[in-house]
Structure 1
């Protein structure tokens, strides 16, 4: 009987120990599995849904370049008025640096220009760039990123040469940015210029500058490079430069008169001195126009005077041996007769 009692006690003790071990094992394994699942769900949610960035205090989600331009053109123009940086350059850099507002730095830190921390004391975000987990500035609103971009360029001596350029010379600004060390990509200027021409961003410079705006044309040898704008046709360009359509086609190896916005066309700088065919009698009449004098009055600019006499600013400058756009009240200028 004693053996039976001892056997029962031992059996009961062994069974209770085994049950405790199973219970402990289940208790420790369940929370570990849940933590892993929760972490994965949170990451997937962030990737799929995205995070809205803030523009002028309003949360937005940008889906295209056109949306980006519509949101930031006014901000870029205000920065141009205050700091003298062409709105076209600022917008093109924003589009390029932030992937039109869809890059991680723009979405999570409202940082559109990839400006790193340096001596920054505000909020920060860490992001892989030239090196792993570099420190970048984080803003409460994207408009502060635009202001910081203006300050970044205007307060550093290495970019001083930029501000000696004409504000409408966006091609010069694009090249000087690369030269000053803003970007290491050798194609950086070409990318900015391409964006400006494709989306007609220099129009926002013209809005800020008003009558003093003069479109810059790139010169290569005996040719000037003209960038086709919205509304241009082969006919309108031929009339603008007093040349024939056939000449434009020949200089640019074109078989048709079709054009694309942003397309580069070579225009012979000496074409106005060439013999014009009988089909271009109107252009010939303009080329042989009689010269007359104009006395500069208060408020007049080279642009307004050139329009008055159906000339281009470059023609007016060449006729009067002018090196820049500066004029004095009472100054005498040689101009084409409108009669």
Structure 2
């Protein structure tokens, strides 16, 4: 009799334990959904704005923010407004904090507010060559974007893409991508020099050996091995000092063959769609200004770079608007 009662008690305890675990799991799932919903409602406008401005799916931005920041509750997000785990680079002059990640005591950026973190995340993706191929994808194809981010090495987690996709589908974040007009061209498309229409006369004057291109609405040619300032000046009916001024050349020597030579004044900001540039090894402020047909003084001013100071690899340069000031 006693043995039978003991068995019944054990069964009852087992049932209670199973119910406790079931309710506990359901409660945890409910809490997670509430946290994600709160995060979505708080930051969705940031994500939508960045999709329109940079072409990154709002669903991807929000899912990354949720995953990287623990729905805004991680130490980096709470203490540093860092929602995407962006680490310090050698150019970072703002506030910083240290946190264990892939290694112990790694340096992470601290922002004034979450909006700066969302902007820096978009600027990082848009301005880095290794992520450039993503912008050839449809902005509503969140799955390809997720796998592309993993392929480009955004995170070391082998299931990073699957985790992003799960968040997007569970929270129906893909709905945010619908109806947003993205007019920003791919960074790779902007890198290709385009033939300037209606320049046949100038090309004829140059002896038919030069093509005239346009970048950022500024005409340019590519220096040929036999070119001299004298021959180019005669053909284009320009003074030598004009070519030197337009290209900010410090010497009287013509640049080597293969170099871009602008034949009109450069502009104060880059072309529409060229928002940021991530400096790579070997690049200088001058070479970047030539790449985007921007005045180097304007590029320096927009990014608060002092005279005589040079850019460093990993530094994010703003090409159209002023960079946020770092405290």
**Same fold? TM cut 0.5:** no
Which has a greater percent of helix? 1
Give the TM-score range, shorter chain: 0.3 to 0.5
Higher RCO structure, 1 or 2 (CA under 8 Å, sep 6+)? 2
Q: TM-score, normalised by structure 2?
A: 0.44
